[in-house]
Amino acid sequence: MTTHPPFGPDFRWPDFNWPEFLPGWVWLVGAGPGDPGLLTLHAVNALRHAETIIHDGLVAPAILDWANPEAERIAMAKRGGQVSPTQAEISALLVERARAGRRVLRLKGGDPFVFGRGGEEGQVLARAGIPFRLVPGITAGIGGLGYAGIPVTHGRVNAAVTFVTGHDINGHAPPLDWAAIARASPVIVLYMGMRTLGEIADKLIAAGRGPEEPVALVQNASTPEQKVLETSLARAAAEAEAAGFGAPVITCIGRTALLRQALDWQGQAAGDALRNPDPLT
DSSP string over 187-253: EEEEES-TTTHHHHHHHHHHTT--TT-EEEEEESTTSTT-EEEEEETTTHHHHHHHTT--SSEEEEE
Which is the catalytic residue, given 78, 202, 203, 227? 78
User: Cis ω on the peptide bond leading into residue 248 (within 30° of 0)?
Assistant: yes
CA–CA separation, 155 and 28 (whole Å): 34
HSE on the CB side for 3, CA within 13 Å?
15
Q: Which residues contact 252 (CB under 8 A, 6 or more apart)?
A: 145, 150, 152, 187, 188, 189, 190, 215, 216, 217, 218
Beta-strand relationship, 249-253 and 214-219: antiparallel
Hey, what amino acid is at 50? A
**Does the active-site annotation cover 78?**
yes
| Residue 192: active-site member | yes
Name the active-site residue from 76, 111, 192, 264.
192
SS3 100: coil
Tell me which of 56, 76, 108, 264 is the catalytic residue: 56
**202 given a catalytic annotation:** no
Q: Are strands 227-232 and 214-219 parallel, antiparallel or unpaired?
A: antiparallel
Q: How far is it, in rounded angstroms, from Cα 141 to Cα 253?
A: 11
Give one word for 24, left, alpha or beta, with left for phi > 0 and alpha for psi -120 to 50: left
Question: Where in the sequence numbering do the catalytic residues fall?
Answer: 56, 78, 192
